[in-house]
Structure 1
Amino acid sequence: MDSSVTALPTFDLSVLILPNELDFQLPTNIRLGHLAEKIVSELIQASTNYKVVYENSQIIEKQKTIGEIDFIIENVKENKIIHLELAYKFYLFDPTISSEAINNWIGPNRNDSLSEKLEKLKTKQFPLLYHSITAVNFDSIDINRVSQSLCLLVSLFVPYAFKTKVDPAYEKAIKGYYLDSKTFISLDNVEKVYYLPSKKEWGMDPSQNEIWTDYKSIENKIATSIQEKQALLCWQKYKETYLSFFIVWW
C-alpha cells in the first residue's frame, strides 16, 4: 500500500532486482507475521541491488526491551541506508464506523485497525531509530544518513454484496469479501467445496490448494469459531472459480 494512504514513504518490493529462479527454505513453525518477515528478508538478500545490514534488532535500555527495528537495509548501487518497517495485515471494511475510509479498515476480530497500525508506526516504530540507545546497536552506520520507509503488505476484504465504490488506493489490495455464517450457509450448494486455511496459509492463493471438502465437513469448526468470536478465512472452489472470504461473528 502506497504513501497516498499511509502518509509514510513506501518501499515497494518490485524495486528488488531478483534472479529468475529463487530457492530458499522457509521455517514451518513460526507465526504468519514472522513468516512474512522471513520471506522479505530472503528476497532482499537474494537481490543484486539491496542487502540486509541489520534484521529484527531489539533495542534494549536498562535490561528492558523498548522496541524492535525490523530491517536496516542498504541500496548497494546508490550507497543509501534505509530503516525499513514491514507490516503484513488483513483488514475488513466496516462502513458504519466512520465517514473517513482510513478509519473503517479493521482486523477480522475487530481488535485492531489500519489507522491504529499507522499511528503506532509514526509515533513509536519510526522514532525508535532516533532513540539515544539505538545508535549503540547500529555502530557500523551513521544514523543521520538513514532514511525511513514502510513496506505495508495488506489483503483487504469488503462486505458481501458491497456496492459502494472503494477508493482506488485501496481497490488493488482487495482480495475478497466477508459475511456472517447465516449468509454463508444460505449461499452454499452441492457444487461448492471449501477449505479453511490455517493462519500461516492465509497468504497463499486458493488456486494452489489441493484439499477441498463440502460444507458439512467444516460446519462444526465454523460454529465453534463463531461461538468463540474468532473470524475464519474460508476458500471456496466453485467449478473453475476460486474465492477467498472471511466468515465473521459480528
Structure 2
Amino acid sequence: MNTKSRIASIVKGNSLDASVTGLPSFHLSELSIQNDLEFQLPTNIRLGHLAEKIVSELIKSSVNYKVLCEHFQIIEDQKTIGEIDFIIENRVDKKIIHLELAYKFYLFDPSISIDPINNWIGPNRNDSLSEKLDKLKRKQFPLLYHSCTASEFNTIDIDTVSQALCLLVSLFVPYEFKTKLSPVYEKAIKGYYLDLETFLSLDNPEKSYYLPSKKEWGMEASENGIWKPYKEIEDQIATSIKEKQAPLCWQKYKGTYISFFIVWW
C-alpha cells in the first residue's frame, strides 16, 4: 500500500456537513498543516482504525490544533460502555472539542425511501448512514457527559467542551443513475455500483482491473500500478459474490480510471 497516497486520500476526503448530519461538523481542511506528511502506518488494523490513526497524526502535525486525548474508553463497573475518539484543543483560542470520526462507504438505493438520507446503505446492506447518525446522537456524543467521563477528565470543564463530527464518506450511485442529488452528496460521489451480470456485459479485452483490499478503499485508482484482465480476477469476484461480500473494483480503460462496487443483491 502506498502510504503517501493513503494519507492523501484521507486529507482530501469529502465530509458530510451539518445540513445532512444534524451535527456540528469538523472538516480536515480546518487543520493548518505546513508540509506534505508521510508517516509510518500500522499494517494490522482495520480500515476505520487506519483512518483514525491518520487523522490523529494530521491533528498532531497541525499548527492550530493539538490532541489532548484519543481513544479514551469509558468504563463503568469494570465494563467498557463506549469510547471517545478525540478530545482536541485549538491552540489559538484554547477551545476544546470532543471530535468523533467516521470513514464510511455508502451506496444509494433509491427504492428504500423518498427521503435521500435513508437511502445510503453499506455495500452489503448491513449498515446505513441514518443508522450511523442515530448511533452518534444517541450513544457516542452523550458519552462526554457520562459521570465516569467527568471523573477522568478532572482537568477539563466538560460544560465548556463543544462537540463535532468528521464524517468522511465515499458515495456510490446505481449504474447509469440520472437523478440529481443534493450538492453535499454529489461532491462525495466516487463511482457507481452494478450487479455481476451488468458488469460482465460491459467487460471487453481492453479493460483491466484491480480489486483493492479493504485498507485501500478510498485511494485513487489512477495511482495503482497493478492491473489484470477479467479472467485473472474472475474467481475472486465469484467467491466474494457467493459469500455476499460486494467487492470494490478499480477499472483502467483508455487512460481513464473508475471505481465501482459489484453487488450481490
Indicate whether the TM-score tops 0.5: yes
CA distance, structure 1, for counterparts of residue 163 and residue 178 of structure 2: 37
| Aligned pairs, number | 250
Q: State the 1:204 CA deviation.
A: 1.0
1:129-148, aligned counterparts within 5 Å?
129-148=144-163
Deviation digits for residues 42-71 of structure 1, max 9, x if unmatched?
000000000000000000000000000000
Q: Are 1:107 and 2:116 counterparts?
A: no
Deviation digits for residues 122-149 of structure 1, max 9, x if unmatched?
0100011001111122222111110000
Q: Which amino acid aligns with 2:207?
A: K
Identity of aligned residues (%): 76
CA distance, structure 1, for counterparts of residue 264 and residue 203 of structure 2: 18
Aligned to 1:223: 238
Aligned to 2:76: 61
Unpaired segments of 5 or more residues in structure 2? 1-15
Aligned to 2:253: 238
CA distance, structure 1, for counterparts of residue 34 and residue 189 of structure 2: 29
**SS at 2:239's partner residue?**
helix
Deviation digits for residues 169-208 of structure 1, max 9, x if unmatched?
2100000000000000000011100000000000211011
Q: TM-score, normalised by structure 2?
A: 0.93
The structure 1 residue matched to 2:208, chosen from 193, 196, 200, is 193
CA distance, structure 2, for counterparts of residue 202 and residue 21 of structure 1: 21
Aligned to 2:37: 22
**SS at 2:225's partner residue?**
coil
CA distance, structure 1, for counterparts of residue 27 and residue 47 of structure 2: 20
CA distance, structure 2, for counterparts of residue 201 and residue 23 of structure 1: 16
Q: Are 1:8 and 2:47 counterparts?
A: no
| Greater shift in the superposed pair: 17-26 or 32-41 | 17-26
Q: Which amino acid aligns with 1:224?
A: T
Q: State the 1:164 CA deviation.
A: 0.8
Q: Which amino acid aligns with 2:262?
A: I
CA distance, structure 2, for counterparts of residue 43 and residue 160 of structure 1: 35
Aligned to 1:118: 133
1:29-44, aligned counterparts within 5 Å?
29-44=44-59
RMSD: 0.7
**SS at 1:133's partner residue?**
helix
Q: Are 1:156 and 2:171 counterparts?
A: yes
Deviation digits for residues 60-87 of structure 1, max 9, x if unmatched?
0000000000000000101100000000
Unpaired segments of 5 or more residues in structure 1? none
| Greater shift in the superposed pair: 14-23 or 152-161 | 14-23
1:68-87, aligned counterparts within 5 Å?
68-87=83-102
CA distance, structure 2, for counterparts of residue 49 and residue 227 of structure 1: 49
- Could you list the runs of 4 or more consecutive aligned residues of structure 1 that deviate by over 3 angstroms after TM superposition? none
CA distance, structure 1, for counterparts of residue 218 and residue 62 of structure 2: 22
Deviation digits for residues 103-133 of structure 1, max 9, x if unmatched?
0000000000000000000010001100111
Q: Which amino acid aligns with 1:27?
A: P
Aligned to 2:103: 88
Q: TM-score, normalised by structure 1?
A: 0.99
Aligned to 1:52: 67
Aligned to 1:170: 185
